[in-house]
Amino acid sequence: MTRRAIRPPALRYRPARRTDVDTLADMALRTYRVSSIEARRDFYTEHPRFSIRDVRVGELDGEIVASLVMLPLQAWVRGHRLPLTGIGTVAVSPESRRRGVGEALVRASLREMRQRGDAMSILYAFRSDFYQKFGWSLIERTSMLSVPPGVLPASDEARRVRKANIPDRPVIQEIYEQHTQRSGHFALARRPEWWEKRLWGYEGDWVVYEGRRRGQIEGYLQYQVDHGDGPWKLVLTVNEFVACTPAAHRGLWGYLHSLRDQAVEVVVAVPGDELWPTVLTDAQNLRGELKMGAHRSTGHLGYGAMLRILDVKGALEALPVSPGARGELSVDVRDDVLPQNTRAWRVVAREGRLTVKPESARSGGGKSLPKLTAPIGALASIVAGTLSPALAVESGLVEDARGAAELIETWFRARPAFLYPMNGF
């Protein structure tokens, strides 16, 4: 028997009001089954990244059955600070699930973001296939290491690592901002409120590497300690590791190595090009080793943030590309959710920026230009530098005509996207 398609619900989508806070807190508590009702109220009223004006709700028959938050974020991309809209805390009441409520809410939020001029949206998925069908695509892949501290390199520089003190906090904040501006790729910029209300009260220890000149901090790390198996089997989870000099790298690695008599495991997520796997003295994986032929595992592949292009022209013109990018091509985009993006676009690269215009019959439809045909999700992974255009063609994710993929192969190449775990939303 053929299953009947579920009819989308007649969901009323609107901005939340302050009078909705108790309802939102109760629904979120029943959805996620974590925290407390008081903490959930504070989440909607005291959050350092958004206000109640950024919350959207979905109603059925006058009752709130779903909600989400649109977070106004900014990220460093090739040294430029770009606006992003984060989608978070998507909640559907237990009684309203499997009725298409969540899909209707997400579709409505996409239409709103597009209408108000947002170019890109980013999120962490509770289940990636749910968001893939709306056009979000993976841009953040990390190496998740689980190793004994003894395989990290020892270093005399570890003696320059000390506990961070309150006067060090402004310096640490500045180091993060300078580091992510210089070398971050989709690393989120942080407001002072995020540091004050969230990070400085975060569970765990902060340590800094102080260089040869007294008071000159060149790096820091933050880690949590799990002592559930006793004081001599500690598990250290590194939430943030920022080193601005080679000496700081050696010192912070050496500091973790020095804890080997008491700690049995260091857990950390790092970008795909990070040096951690290179400096390990041996390949070990404490959370399930995998061997394939001559290969041994020292970690797992992390599946992180997903990006959605809301406005093809706005996103491509905002994203900086390689300074050496030159050329012109046609990009034929398919977007089943936001049909305004579905068309052929003429893209010109010059002086590290892109100019994008819709193709018209007068322009000849780009028949003589190299042409790339891509669904909106694949385009997001390409422009974020996560997906090689040439490999995308080989795997059938996009289609190429007249060498378009080869033309843009280096345009978007950059360090792997890495948002930093302590920026999670």
The number of beta carbons lying within 10 Å of the beta carbon of residue 393 is: 18
pLDDT of residue 5: 54
Burial classification of residue 153, based on how many CB atoms lie within 10 Å of its CB (0-12 exposed, 13-18 middle, 19 or more buried): middle
CA 215 to chain centre: 33
Annotate 52-85 with DSSP letters as a single string.
Answer: GGGEEEEEETTEEEEEEEEEEEEEEETTEEEEEE
pLDDT of residue 8: 66
| CA–CA dist 390, 403 (Å, integer) | 9
pLDDT of residue 366: 45
> Are the C-beta atoms of 390 and 359 separated by less than 8 Å?
no
Q: What six digits make up the tokens of 287? A: 């959370």
The number of beta carbons lying within 10 Å of the beta carbon of residue 133 is: 12
- List all residues 6 or more positions away from 56 whose beta carbon is below 8 Å from its beta carbon: 13, 14, 15, 16, 67, 68, 69, 70, 105, 108, 109, 112
Domains and CATH numbers, the chain: 12-118 (3.40.630.30), 143-302 (3.40.630.30), 311-408 (3.30.1050.10)
- Tokens 């968001």 sit at which residue? 131
20-66 pLDDT, tens digit per residue, is 999 999 999 999 888 899 999 999 999 999 999 999 999 999 999 99
Q: What six digits make up the tokens of 231? A: 């004081």
pLDDT of residue 296: 81
| CA–CA dist 240, 220 (Å, integer) | 8
Burial classification of residue 272, based on how many CB atoms lie within 10 Å of its CB (0-12 exposed, 13-18 middle, 19 or more buried): middle
* SS3 label, residue 336: coil
pLDDT of residue 397: 97
Where the chain has pLDDT below 50, the residues are 365-366
> Are the C-beta atoms of 42 and 185 separated by less than 8 Å?
no
pTM over 0.85: yes
103-138 pLDDT, tens digit per residue, is 999 999 999 999 999 999 999 998 899 999 999 999
